[in-house]
A = this chain, B = another copy of it.
């Protein structure tokens, strides 16, 4: 058994190393690679992906995991070895079910589709993309069909990103949230608009980056185990538990862009940096689901980084960094500006309140396409209609309509969006649980101290990595399932106060 466990760790470490190498090559591609490197880099990434996939689906790995089943069954559910075998087996059986030809087809199609999208999006050229999307939809359905026995065809795709979640549960959750959000957005729309012009001056890049890095350092982001670089689209990436990097983008005329993207990605990174080092180079050494990951980026970005206690401490430092721009702007003005609610067309620019309407709309359209209740040719109009219905806006073109997000154009249709809203819901549920457990939390945040919050999250969420699925983790930490209550209460309280709504 010791020998088998050692062999398992060796095999998993080799797969991990190939995936980590690919992550370094992708990071380099987004940060520093000169244009001449692109063609060879695509080939190098394809080689690494082929090798790691072949090792991750090696039947000998499956046999090893079966041989370890009796050992696993003798151990408590929470034992690290049991979790390692359980999680590795689940990952193996999922990857091994998808035929290598289908993986190759999807990979080739995704690359071609992404290339076409980079040209079609600026031109709003939806006609070019529809036939490519039809193929994506067909491949997405074939992947779902590798997992027969589902209740809804999106279930296997949702499960790949948010293990344990299904279309029906997500729909119920989203309906509940939507019933609260729509009246809240309407009530805010009836109030006078907030002036956020204080965020639109000239803010030199160097000071913006320095301020953001100071803040995340105070949160507990460990720069000896990470770094920040600039990219077109911000992201977090991990090469090992000792090397968890983030990227940001800076707009010299928009103070909120770099700051909140830095905090958002640092939230993802704090999760990865907090995983038990004993899990290094195993499938346990990653955040457990898209939704739980997003709960951490949003908790630090919104529940901390857009909160009044946070800025009571940090706003004087921000003013000191930008005295000419913010010297005459009060804390209250600034706090209102960074929390301005305004229906808009672009998901990634949306405020906390309207953001989830963007996500739900995509989720519902994905499900309709997969079911066949919405024909692909009707998707662009369905998008327009739903924006009008939910946000009172009609996109002037498809560039900022159905072509806006990369997700459908560089992967499968299904499973990519629900995690964003699950993350928002969970962020408030976890924050409320932390508050209940740590009575001094608010006072500490007001003093710019994060050790208690960071410590609580590390102890209850981060260190476990993928040891528990999201439903298992949420039950352990909060004593119940995922609930919209704390999130709705948070939004109502914060925005009720900000917009002077009747309690």
Contact = CB atoms under 8 A, between A and B. Distances in A.
A395 B295 CA distance: 57
Interface stretch (A117-125, A221-229, A483-491): A221-229
A444 to B, nearest CB: 26
Nearest to A38: B242
A96 interface: no
B224 A40 contact: no
A187 B223 CA distance: 54
Interface string A18-53: 101110110010001111111111011001100100
Contacts of A153: none
Given A34-B223, A225-B34, A226-B34, A40 B28 contact: no
B242 A17 contact: no
A37 B240 contact: yes
A314 interface: no
Interface residues of A, number: 40
Contact of A40 (B20, B22, B222): B20
A18 to B, nearest CB: 7
Contact of A24 (B28, B34, B245, B281): B28
Given A43-B17, A51-B51, A281-B43, A36 B222 contact: yes
B21 A227 contact: no
Contact of A33 (B14, B39, B243): B243
B36 A226 contact: yes
A257 interface: no
Given A21-B48, A44-B239, 6 more contacts: A13-B43, A18-B48, A33-B243, A36-B242, A38-B242, A41-B240
Interface of A: 13-14, 17-18, 20-22, 24-25, 28, 32-41, 43-44, 47-48, 51, 222-227, 229, 239-243, 245, 280-281
27 contacts: A13-B43, A17-B43, A17-B47, A18-B48, A20-B40, A21-B24, A21-B47, A21-B48, A24-B24, A24-B28, A28-B28, A32-B227, A34-B224, A34-B225, A34-B226, A36-B222, A36-B225, A37-B225, A37-B239, A37-B240, A37-B242, A39-B242, A40-B242, A40-B243, A40-B280, A41-B239, A41-B240
